[in-house]
């Protein structure tokens, strides 16, 4: 057999070098594949891990015709997970889009573990398609494509281990790149729109198409987005889509999801928040609390990066291969600007790495190729252990290595774009495009600062009146107040005896906190004043039930309890303690029930339960008036309405004085005032109404949610849950004076 590059069988130094290099690539590829299989695929196959249950559960609820607008409510979604018997401690669908669940829809009929295994096989198939497409898009051999792919072993492992869908996003972006390079522009735009329906940050590609004057691609993107929107409305309903668009999407853009101060995001947003915004539980030790500086730097940095890359890709160079570099750089840009990128998002850098290396190798710019690959490897490395280190002040910068390497890699890509302009840099700097770029940086920065300051206004006022400060607390909500205690439901990591995350009931008394929980998740405490008797909802795979327990019993295995009502959620107790109201779900739609308990139960007829409002009302919350009537929120088309119903006589009557979309009602102990939350521009704000005069007053106005108010006995104060200064639905408890 002839040696490569020679006319005889005699080996030459060049052919020997080539063969050694090829064998080195094969060995490296084999090592990387084995590492991925051992650390990623096999563990993923053997057990179910988050985040696959999130997508699987939404697909399952869709099949069962549940209302999907509630999948973005943390506790409701967790309850459905418990009922479905999914053996994962914690689920949450924020910030995922509804179309992302469509991918696993055909697997919803299988058991969770079976569905996960099928998904792993499908993901492997998508990964193989990515490799084949990348070979066709570039001049790289399949072996080198494989090496570059599995150098991202960290992101790939994260995708498989967590059952994520971002390998599908990678496939769509690679397919779009192939179509773009083949000048099939309309189809390219449509495919990118499909990817953006799963990963929302990819909407940035529309700007790329406009700047490059790829009008057919822009039209394809618009058509694809419109089609995805109409399909979502048809499948999931207008209310579910509206909930995401108004109540979730703005928070995703700002990076205010889960814990926005977590260095694990390794984003520009998380770094600036960690440095310049304080939060008593999530970020108590920043460099300084400087919201104005945060607003300015956030706007300036993002505007400068976007405009600089757009200026760099706006070129009239006739070099068609430069289009690969432009697509690679813009794919990278979308990831760099993402407000909350997790390790699994970085699989899209596989496309960037392959296109950039191909571009540089063809031009024999091997030094730049090596630099790019090294930075790519460091970006994809796992840094999980580093995030566990507690730091303060400027030392926080050490917790963002991935972001640092991303910035360096971005600088390399930007410089490569500048070098390939096809005209002298001096001429380029004197063009009108540069002046327009500077103008847009100033304009976008100014606009961004104003929007940021408006958003942050009043966000931190609740810090002074925080009721609890549970270290590591993610969610605290549904407060119930007695003369000497505050009971509330909370998610605190590693609460349960198994060491896994769990929802539990907590009691704050005289500055100390006691927890109540055990098997299953414990939600929505209900208490009577001046008594140790408490009620709560316990959710397991057998459904939800309302249990009664003694607050003095808080052993390590959880309190002993008595089941008060089965197939029952969200208990509420009348002021006299004789009536228990609760909610029963019918395919996710709540019906309101009441039953006698205690002394009244012993005097009642054998059947002590009665339905007061059927599932057609879709009851979400309920509370008692002092005389025993019940106030509840009902989901109607276009919003929520408040109703009043007598405990055992009459039918629900709407409270017509409340004209907004209203939830979370609560009546003061003297029966004179009602507190509730109104939806304003997708946010929930607290209001109070005089039940005699029906005069209403808004108590909160910040660009965040204030929900689940309850009255403090003997005062006109409210304790409520707020996500101001935190993240969507990640609430803490605060106090304010409702009536002066």
Is 11 in a helix, a strand, or coil?
coil
pLDDT of residue 557: 66
Residue 3 has pLDDT above 60, yes or no: no
Find the range with the poorest average confidence among 201-205, 345-349, 472-476, 576-580: 472-476
Per the domain annotation, does 2 fall within a domain?
Answer: no
pLDDT of residue 318: 66
Per the domain annotation, does 5 fall within a domain?
Answer: no
Say what percent of the chain tops pLDDT 70. 91
Last residue of a domain, one of 434, 453, 472: 453
Confidence of residue 429 (pLDDT cuts 50, 70, 90): low
pLDDT of residue 193: 96
Cα(555)–Cα(293) distance, rounded to whole angstroms? 48
pLDDT in tens, 153-201: 999 999 999 999 999 999 999 999 999 999 999 999 999 999 999 999 9
**Do residues 514 and 411 both lie within one domain?**
no
pLDDT of residue 606: 46
pLDDT of residue 132: 95
CA–centroid distance for 379 within its chain: 22
**Do residues 447 and 470 both lie within one domain?**
no
Cα(97)–Cα(228) distance, rounded to whole angstroms? 11
pLDDT in tens, 220-243: 999 999 999 999 999 999 999 999
**Do residues 481 and 438 both lie within one domain?**
no
Beta-bridge partners for 502:
492
Domain that includes residue 727, residue range:
461-737
Query: Mean of the pLDDT values across residues 61-85?
Result: 93
**Other beta carbons less than 10 A from residue 121's beta carbon:** 9
The vertex-351 CA angle with 349 and 354, nearest 5°, equals 105
Last residue of a domain, one of 419, 453, 487: 453
Residue of 300, 347, 355 lying closest to 139 (CA atoms): 355
Tell me whether residue 378 is exposed, middle or buried, using C-beta atoms within 10 angstroms of its C-beta: 0 to 12, 13 to 18, 19 or more: middle
Is 566 in a helix, a strand, or coil?
strand
Residue 579's φ and ψ, nearest 5 degrees, are: -130, 140
Confidence of residue 4 (pLDDT cuts 50, 70, 90): very low
Cα(243)–Cα(240) distance, rounded to whole angstroms? 5
Last residue of a domain, one of 436, 453, 470: 453
Instruction: Kindly report whether the global pTM for this prediction surpasses the value 0.85.
Output: yes
- Largest interatomic CA distance in the chain: 106
Cα(160)–Cα(116) distance, rounded to whole angstroms? 10
Per the domain annotation, does 24 fall within a domain?
Answer: yes
pLDDT of residue 628: 87
**Do residues 448 and 526 both lie within one domain?**
no
Find the range with the poorest average confidence among 17-26, 294-303, 423-432: 423-432
The whole-chain average pLDDT of the chain stands at 89
pLDDT in tens, 623-636: 999 988 999 999 98
**Do residues 373 and 398 both lie within one domain?**
yes
Cα(92)–Cα(149) distance, rounded to whole angstroms? 29
pLDDT in tens, 264-305: 888 999 999 999 999 998 898 899 999 999 999 999 999 999
**Do residues 152 and 250 both lie within one domain?**
yes
pLDDT of residue 607: 53
pLDDT in tens, 476-520: 999 999 988 999 998 866 444 444 568 999 999 888 888 888 788
Structure tokens at 686: 């607290």
360-364: long-range contacts at Cβ-Cβ below 8 A with a sequence spacing of 24 or more? 360/416, 361/139, 361/140, 362/139, 362/321
What single-letter DSSP state applies at residue 474? -
- Buried b / exposed e over 421-457, threshold 16 CB at 10 Å, is beeeeeebeeeeeeeebeebbeebbeebbeebeebbe
Per the domain annotation, does 641 fall within a domain?
Answer: yes
Is 515 in a helix, a strand, or coil?
strand
What single-letter DSSP state applies at residue 614? -
Cα(344)–Cα(336) distance, rounded to whole angstroms? 14
**Do residues 618 and 512 both lie within one domain?**
yes
**Do residues 443 and 506 both lie within one domain?**
no
pLDDT of residue 386: 81
How many residues are there in the chain? 740
pLDDT of residue 20: 65
Instruction: Give me the sign of the Cα torsion angle 183, 185, 190, 192.
Output: positive
Per the domain annotation, does 12 fall within a domain?
Answer: no
pLDDT of residue 143: 93
Confidence of residue 1 (pLDDT cuts 50, 70, 90): very low
492-497: long-range contacts at Cβ-Cβ below 8 A with a sequence spacing of 24 or more? 496/89, 497/556, 497/557
pLDDT of residue 427: 61
609-613/619-624 β-pairing: unpaired
Residue 522 has pLDDT above 60, yes or no: yes
pLDDT of residue 638: 78
Query: Mean of the pLDDT values across residues 68-82?
Result: 94
Per the domain annotation, does 559 fall within a domain?
Answer: yes
For helices 74-84 and 52-63, give the axis angle rounded to 10 degrees.
80
CATH number, domain of 617, equals 2.120.10.30
Q: In terms of pLDDT, which residue wins out, 8 or 409?
A: 409
Q: Residue 170: left if φ>0, alpha if ψ -120 to 50, beta else—which one?
A: alpha
pLDDT in tens, 568-625: 999 999 988 889 999 999 989 999 999 998 755 544 454 578 999 999 999 999 999 9
Beta-bridge partners for 728:
none
Per the domain annotation, does 4 fall within a domain?
Answer: no
pLDDT in tens, 30-70: 999 999 999 999 999 988 777 899 999 999 999 999 989 99
Is 712 in a helix, a strand, or coil?
coil
Confidence of residue 337 (pLDDT cuts 50, 70, 90): very high
């Amino acid at each position: 057999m002839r040696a490569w590059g020679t006319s005889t069988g005699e080996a030459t130094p060049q052919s020997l070098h080539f063969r050694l290099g090829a064998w080195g690539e094969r060995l490296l590829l084999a090592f990387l594949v084995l590492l991925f299989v051992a650390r990623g695929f096999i563990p993923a196959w053997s057990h179910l891990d988050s985040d696959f249950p999130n997508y699987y559960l939404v697909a399952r609820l869709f099949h069962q015709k549940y209302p999907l607008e509630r999948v973005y409510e943390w506790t409701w979604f967790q309850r459905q997970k418990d009922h479905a018997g999914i053996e994962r401690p914690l689920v949450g669908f924020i910030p995922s889009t509804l179309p992302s669940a469509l991918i696993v829809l055909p697997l919803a009929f299988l058991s969770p573990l079976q569905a996960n295994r099928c998904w792993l096989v499908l993901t492997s198939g998508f990964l193989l398609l990515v490799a084949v497409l990348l070979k066709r898009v570039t001049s790289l051999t399949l072996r080198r494509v494989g090496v570059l792919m599995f150098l991202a072993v960290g992101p790939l492992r994260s995708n498989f281990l967590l059952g994520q869908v971002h390998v599908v996003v990678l496939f769509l972006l690679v397919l779009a790149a192939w179509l773009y390079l083949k000048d099939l522009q309309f189809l390219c735009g449509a495919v990118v729109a499909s990817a953006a329906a799963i990963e929302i940050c990819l909407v940035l590609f529309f700007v790329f198409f406009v700047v490059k004057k790829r009008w057919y691609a822009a039209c394809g993107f618009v058509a694809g987005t419109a089609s995805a929107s109409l399909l979502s409305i048809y499948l999931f309903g207008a209310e579910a889509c509206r909930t995401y668009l108004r109540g979730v999407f703005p928070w995703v853009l700002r990076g205010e999801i889960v814990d926005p101060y977590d260095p694990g995001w390794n984003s520009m947003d998380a770094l600036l928040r960690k440095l310049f915004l304080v939060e008593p539980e999530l970020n108590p030790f920043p460099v300084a609390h400087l919201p104005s500086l945060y607003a300015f730097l956030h706007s300036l940095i993002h505007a400068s990066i976007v405009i600089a890359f757009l200026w760099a890709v706006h070129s009239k160079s006739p070099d068609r291969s430069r289009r690969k570099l432009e697509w690679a750089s813009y794919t990278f840009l979308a990831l760099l600007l993402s407000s909350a990128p997790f390790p699994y998002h970085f699989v899209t850098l596989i496309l960037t790495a392959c296109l950039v290396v191909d571009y540089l190798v063809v031009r024999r710019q091997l030094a730049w190729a090596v630099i790019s690959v090294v930075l790519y490897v460091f970006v994809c490395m796992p840094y999980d252990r580093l995030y566990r280190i507690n730091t303060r002040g400027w030392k926080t910068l050490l917790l963002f290595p991935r972001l640092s390497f991303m910035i360096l890699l971005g600088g390399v890509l930007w410089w490569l774009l500048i070098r390939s302009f096809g005209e002298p840099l001096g001429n380029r700097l004197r063009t009108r495009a540069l002046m327009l770029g500077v103008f847009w940086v100033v304009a976008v920065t100014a606009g961004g600062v104003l929007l940021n300051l408006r958003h942050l206004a009043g966000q931190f006022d609740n810090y002074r009146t925080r009721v609890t400060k549970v270290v590591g607390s993610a969610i605290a909500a549904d407060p119930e107040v007695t003369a000497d205690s505050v009971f509330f439901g909370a998610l605190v990591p590693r609460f349960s005896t198994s060491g896994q995350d769990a929802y539990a009931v907590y009691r704050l008394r005289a500055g100390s906190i006691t927890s109540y929980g055990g098997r299953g998740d414990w939600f929505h405490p209900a208490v009577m004043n001046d008594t140790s008797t408490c009620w709560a909802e316990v959710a397991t795979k057998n459904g939800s039930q309302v249990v009664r327990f003694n607050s003095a019993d808080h052993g390590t295995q959880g309190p002993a309890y008595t089941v008060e009502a089965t197939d029952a959620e969200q208990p509420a107790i009348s002021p006299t303690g004789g009536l228990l109201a609760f909610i029963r779900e019918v395919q996710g739609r709540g019906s309101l029930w009441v039953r006698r308990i205690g002394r009244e139960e012993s005097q009642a007829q054998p059947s002590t339960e009665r339905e007061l409002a059927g599932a057609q009302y879709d009851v979400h919350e309920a509370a008692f008036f002092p005389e025993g009537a019940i106030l509840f929120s009902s989901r109607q088309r276009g919003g929520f309405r408040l109703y009043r119903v007598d405990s055992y006589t009459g039918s629900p009557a709407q409270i017509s004085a409340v004209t907004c979309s209203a939830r979370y009602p609560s009546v003061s102990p003297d029966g004179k005032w009602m507190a509730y939350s109104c939806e304003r521009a997708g946010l929930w704000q607290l209001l109070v109404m005089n039940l005699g005069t029906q005069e209403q007053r808004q108590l909160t106005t910040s660009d965040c949610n204030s929900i689940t108010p309850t009255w403090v006995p003997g005062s006109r104060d409210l304790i409520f849950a707020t996500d101001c200064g935190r993240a969507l639905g990640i609430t803490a408890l605060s106090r304010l004076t409702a009536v002066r």
